[in-house]
């Protein structure tokens, strides 16, 4: 423990000293970058220190709530203690939704309780609840195929067939059941909706997540069932249908809208030597859903980018200012990313990156608007860690989306292994014990190599 504390103190001191000291040579040898990469791979504990601390001392950080505000205050104190400069909270206002009581049970013909959670922006059933016949749809497309108004006050249910994938592509296929399924169900005349949780685990944990409504559309109660309960409901529906009996569900969801509250983006910097070289933006999001402590989503991401930035600073003053964006209110509508884009759209950004896909190893690197010589060097620096060169354009992530659209910087995606991400995503299982410290260090090492190369590269990143 004493050794760990001494190492942390030394690295923290190096950030403060080197950020104000001589600039790292703009043509920093790749051997020097590789050495910093390897040191992070073997010994980094800064990322762990962040995610362990915020999950232990703060816990869930639901957007717009006092819990999220405590998380911002904690993160700013931590960043200052690590030697970062210009640490601040850039506040913005938002409409805030919070959950209430959550119960679901089949009342006939096979009475038993089910595990449910309300989807973000769900309406309330009222404390007395709502009971209705379940109309089962194998997919969102199947619900879309029925006539508007045809459900006649039934409770709609949407299933899906999401499977684990390394690149997380199953989320794009199944996600519409949550993102737009409830609004669709309302148009079809449903009084409420439950969906099969958008996830790949088979724990009896429902997955939270937001949904959206059509402009001017009154919301209906909307919930997600745990995958085992959802599959049980499907079996019940088959039996009840064969017997000519309706499947009846009672749903109690009592969320509330708090009105306008304050959220904010935590910003921290390592000042660069060349003000005209543009900002190196490293992003994550600080808020989390309220069912767990937000370790994978996205405490780990904030720890990764901060640890990498510290290591680059320890190499010498970077050419470009490295800016950390710990975005607020991502989970409920990417409000922090949008606020950052609006506030900083007139600033030059050389490149943007985001870590928001858990804590498992980086396996692929993608880029957009990165010159081939730098892309070749980056691929060579990442290859020893098992990171392959991708062919897909990089997007940067949700919280960098607004600034990327506004200023069109170079974008780098360090793609993380998502095979188990959707077992944990938005569930009560998103806790610190799910993080593998070795894989967390591999992320820091990959980010260190990438940021060290790009933050110090001469000229324009896209022109080399």
The full set of domain ranges for the chain reads: 2-96+259-463, 100-254
| Tokens 């360090």 found at | 414
Phi first, then psi: what are they for 114, rounded to 5°? -135, 155
Q: Check if the beta carbon of residue 177 is closer than 8 Å to that of residue 225.
A: no
The architecture CATH gives domain 2-96+259-463: 3-Layer(aba) Sandwich (3.40)
Q: Residue 222 and residue 104: Cα distance in Å, rounded? A: 11
Q: Is there a contact between 249 and 136 (Cβ–Cβ < 8 Å)?
A: no
What pLDDT, on a 0 to 100 scale, did the predictor assign at position 100?
A: 98
258: number of CA atoms within 13 Å, CB side? 17
Please give the distance of CA 312 from its chain centroid, rounded to a whole number: 24
Q: At what angle do helices 30-43 and 372-382 cross, to 10 degrees?
A: 40
3-state class (DSSP) for residue 156: strand
CA distance 74 to 96: 21
Mapped onto helix, strand or coil, the DSSP state of residue 259 is strand
List of E strands, 138-232: 155-158, 192-196, 222-225
- Beta carbons of 412 and 370 less than 8 angstroms apart: yes
Tokens read off for 432: 């610190």
The predicted pLDDT at position 462 comes to 87
Q: Which two tokens stand for residue 100?
A: 């209430």
Facing residues of 388 across strands?
364
Per the document, the length of the chain is: 464
pLDDT for residue 131: 98
Q: Would you say 131 and 104 are in contact if contact means Cβ atoms under 8 Å apart?
A: no
pLDDT score recorded for residue 456: 97
What is this structure's pTM? 0.94
**CATH match for 100-254 among 3.30.70.20, 3.50.30.30, 3.40.50.970, 3.40.50.1970:** 3.50.30.30
Give the pLDDT of residue 270: 98
Please give the DSSP secondary-structure letter assigned to residue 110. Answer: S
Specify the DSSP class assigned to residue 118.
E
Q: DSSP label at 100?
A: -
3-class SS at 114?
strand
d(CA 94, CA 329): 9
What is the full DSSP assignment across 7-51? HHHHHHHHHHHHHTSPBPPTT--HHHHHHHHHHHHHH--HHHHHH
Best CA proximity match to 311, nearest among 39, 127, 90, 5: 39
Query: How many Cα atoms within 13 Å fall on the side-chain side of residue 431?
Result: 6
Query: Could you tell me if 302 and 76 are in contact, meaning their C-beta atoms sit under 8 angstroms apart?
Result: no
pLDDT of residue 413: 98
Measure the CA–CA gap between 444 and 383, rounded to whole angstroms: 15
In this prediction, the residues of the chain whose per-residue pLDDT falls under 70 are 1-28, 463-464
Cα(358)–Cα(166) distance, integer angstroms: 12
């Amino acid at each position: 423990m004493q050794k760990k504390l001494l190492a942390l103190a030394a690295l923290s001191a190096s950030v403060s000293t080197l950020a104000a000291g001589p600039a790292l040579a703009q043509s920093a040898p790749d051997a020097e970058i590789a050495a910093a990469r390897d040191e992070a791979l073997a010994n980094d504990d800064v990322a762990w220190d962040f995610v362990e601390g915020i999950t232990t001392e703060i816990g869930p950080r639901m957007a717009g709530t006092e819990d999220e505000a405590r998380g911002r205050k904690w993160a700013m104190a931590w960043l200052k203690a690590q030697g970062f400069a210009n640490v601040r909270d850039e506040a913005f206002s938002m409409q805030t939704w919070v959950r209430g009581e959550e119960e679901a049970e089949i009342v006939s013909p096979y009475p038993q309780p089910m595990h449910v959670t309300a989807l973000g922006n769900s309406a309330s059933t009222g404390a007395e609840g709502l009971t209705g016949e379940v109309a089962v749809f194998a997919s969102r497309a199947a619900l879309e195929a029925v006539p508007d108004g045809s459900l006649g006050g039934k409770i709609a249910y949407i299933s899906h067939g999401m499977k684990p994938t390394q690149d997380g592509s199953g989320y794009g296929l199944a996600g519409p059941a949550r993102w737009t399924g409830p609004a669709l169900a309302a148009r079809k005349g449903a009084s409420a909706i439950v969906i099969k949780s958008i996830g790949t685990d088979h724990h009896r944990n429902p997955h939270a997540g937001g949904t959206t409504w059509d402009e001017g559309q009154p919301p209906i109660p909307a919930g997600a069932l745990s995958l085992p309960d959802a599959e049980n409901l499907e079996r019940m529906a088959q039996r009840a249908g064969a017997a000519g009996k309706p499947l009846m569900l009672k749903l109690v969801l009592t969320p509330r809208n708090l009105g306008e509250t304050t959220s904010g983006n935590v910003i921290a910097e390592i000042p660069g030597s060349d003000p005209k070289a543009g900002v190196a933006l490293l992003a994550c999001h600080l808020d989390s859903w309220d069912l767990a402590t937000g370790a994978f989503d996205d405490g780990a991401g904030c720890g990764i980018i901060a640890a990498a930035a510290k290591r680059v600073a320890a190499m010498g003053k970077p050419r470009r200012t490295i800016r950390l964006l710990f975005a607020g209110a991502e989970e409920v509508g990417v409000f922090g990313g949008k606020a950052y884009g609006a506030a900083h759209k007139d600033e030059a950004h050389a490149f943007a990156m985001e870590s928001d896909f858990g804590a498992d190893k980086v396996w692929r690197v993608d880029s957009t608007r990165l010159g081939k010589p730098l892309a070749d060097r980056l691929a060579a620096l990442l290859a020893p860690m098992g990171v392959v060169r991708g062919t897909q354009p990089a997007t940067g992530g949700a919280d960098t989306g607004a600034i990327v659209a506004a200023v069109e910087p170079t974008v780098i995606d360090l793609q993380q292994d998502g095979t188990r991400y959707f077992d944990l995503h938005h569930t009560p299982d998103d806790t610190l014990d799910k993080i593998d410290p070795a894989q967390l260090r591999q992320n820091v090492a990959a980010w260190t190599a990438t940021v060290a190369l790009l933050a110090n590269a001469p000229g324009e990143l896209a022109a080399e």
